[in-house]
Structure 1
Amino acid sequence: MHPAVRETYGPADLSAEPLFAGGFINFGYWQAIALDQPLGEAERIRSQEDLYRRVLDAADVPAKSQILEVGCGLGRGCALALREYGPATVTGMDIHPDQVRRARAAHAETIRREPGLLRFVQGAAERMPFDHPGFDAVISVEAAQHFTDLGAFAAETSRVLRPGGRLALAGFFTVDDAPGRPGELARLLDTFASGLDIARPVSALTDALTAAGLTTVRAASIGAHVWPGWDLWLSRWWDAGTWPRNFLHAYEQHILDYYLITAERPRQRG
């Protein structure tokens, strides 16, 4: 685990920051929110929930499915999936033991009341602690920027998905593989300079998913519904020209974008 990841999601507890209202940790999907009106905590939470809904809809999860979230944080997205999508089980996995502990505490009543419906486990995206294909859907929301090896993540996703199962992932990547992109982002954004976020082209993930045997691999930009709302929310704390406001700048300069990536494990023939 990179030291910046260990600190940010451990002692620093990013989920406790007002910036990430409600205990989610994502930039939000703001399509249904009026950005010309004052934004409050309710709108912020709605944006984060809507990002999960966008991903879960893309995963096309059937009722009574088994869902795995990679990089679950406090498990708020897992809880939303339980409330709104009718799965048989939801498993939240996170690399950070502190996040797993917090998720179990936050959802202790659900875990106690309905054993087996919701669980949280520690594990890395590149080395998942599951023995066989058992999931109808693998989702991940704004965690892939931390994954150290996209090829290993793709291979593990393919391994744990059942035939016909789908991956749906939301995250930010560089728009191309120009060699100067990591340096550009490190100069613009402290999270890339510190190593918390890793600058990689979206094609690095889509190519890895294809190489792992997944099919119908697609990457769609959803940045128009992420970056402006995120920047407006950031303006409550940071002035224009400060580094957090450079996410929108990087998008406008066609350096960084936000993507919804989907793929499917082929069904077995015969």
Structure 2
Amino acid sequence: MVDDAQRACPVMRPAVQETYGPADLSAHSIFAGGFINFGYWHGIDLSQPLGQEERIRSQEDLYRHVLGSVGPLKDLGVLEVGCGLGMGCALALREYDPEQVVGMDIHPQQVRRARDAHAEVLRREPERLRFAQGAAEHMPFASGEFDVLVSVEAAQHFPDLTAFAAETARVVRPGGRVVVASFFTVDDAGDRTSQLAGLLDTFANGLDIARPVTALTETFEAAGLTAVRAESIGRYVWPGWDLWLSRQWAEGTWPRNFLRAYEQRILDYYLIVAERPAKGERVGNEGE
């Protein structure tokens, strides 16, 4: 058992505390169905009017794309870091037949909401689904507890990617797999932080942190993870997200600047995969 004092959550940044607490981002109509992500719109006809059905499908499909990228999950233990209301956890349990899914979120209000939203499943299958409070940098789990770690559109909030990578490498068993979906800057050229703060309120107020995708891939590698790869999936995220936003936000308003930042090659959406080496497996050039 991990000592709670050793794995205590750090103090939340104010923007995170407000957005996922009193403001309850999941209640906003642009995040339909209890999910909180921009969506994966591949296969959705963007030439037709978008409704709530298409919006929910886009968010579910982002989870399907993430979960499908790590191979079969049957009978495995899965951890989601930054689970929000746990809708992705429920989808994983329903469609991928893992042995157990654990959703972790730093915000206690989100954990309570997740438990309320899935009270029936928690009552019926308590051994297969649970929710816990914890930070990406301080996970309240034993070493090697999970076969798979996923994180969907949460890493842009993590203040310390090095600590997140170290904890990821710790809680995933040898031979386990990792997949993260989030948005990052395409590089560290110029002053990407100021550029994004000038375009997008979420970067100006500190909710989102501007970092290149290599900030995560390199910290994963430094933590001992292998087969680390980042793939841009922005073409399947940004146009659909912008079209959905156009229902409520006029062109030129700040939420529409996500697509603008992508088109200007400042920001992109990535799928990052990695593995924890199996026991006895050589890492890099070790032993050469």
Which stretches in structure 1 are left out of the alignment for 5+ residues? Answer: none
The yes-or-no answer on 1:5 pairing with 2:41 is no
Which stretches in structure 2 are left out of the alignment for 5+ residues? Answer: 1-11, 282-288
Match of 1:119 in 2: 130
Tell me, what secondary structure is at the counterpart of 2:111? helix
Match of 2:7 in 1: none
**Post-superposition CA distance 1:179-198 (Å, at most 9, x none):** 41000000000000000000
**Post-superposition CA distance 1:148-206 (Å, at most 9, x none):** 10010001000000111111110000000124100000000000000000000000000
Are the aligned partners of 1:61 and 1:137 in contact in 2 as well (CA < 8 Å)?
no
Q: Which is helix-richer, 1 or 2?
A: 1
Match of 1:46 in 2: 57
Report how far residue 132 of structure 1 moved. 1.9
Mapping 1:237-248, distance limit 5 Å: 237-248=248-259
Match of 1:22 in 2: 33
Are the aligned partners of 1:8 and 1:14 in contact in 2 as well (CA < 8 Å)?
yes
Match of 1:148 in 2: 159
Mapping 1:1-270, distance limit 5 Å: 1-269=12-280
Structure 2: distance between partners of 1:58 and 1:209:
17
**Post-superposition CA distance 1:110-168 (Å, at most 9, x none):** 00111211000000000100122111100000000000100100010000001111111
Q: Give the TM-score of the pair, scaled to structure 1.
A: 0.99
Structure 2: distance between partners of 1:139 and 1:115:
20
Relative to structure 2, which stretch is displaced further, 52-61 or 117-126? 52-61
Structure 2: distance between partners of 1:60 and 1:171:
19
Q: Give the TM-score of the pair, scaled to structure 2.
A: 0.93
Tell me, what secondary structure is at the counterpart of 1:59? coil
The AA in structure 2 aligned to 1:85 is Y
Are the aligned partners of 1:234 and 1:245 in contact in 2 as well (CA < 8 Å)?
yes
Report how far residue 61 of structure 1 moved. 3.8
The AA in structure 2 aligned to 1:33 is I
**Post-superposition CA distance 1:206-246 (Å, at most 9, x none):** 00000000000000000000000000000000011000000
Are the aligned partners of 1:61 and 1:136 in contact in 2 as well (CA < 8 Å)?
no
Structure 2: distance between partners of 1:189 and 1:148:
18
Structure 2: distance between partners of 1:108 and 1:171:
28
Report how far residue 32 of structure 1 moved. 1.1
Match of 2:284 in 1: none
Structure 2: distance between partners of 1:257 and 1:110:
35
Report how far residue 62 of structure 1 moved. 3.1
Report how far residue 269 of structure 1 moved. 1.8
Tell me, what secondary structure is at the counterpart of 1:19? coil
Structure 2: distance between partners of 1:25 and 1:13:
10
Identity of aligned residues (%): 71
**Post-superposition CA distance 1:98-121 (Å, at most 9, x none):** 000000000011001112110000
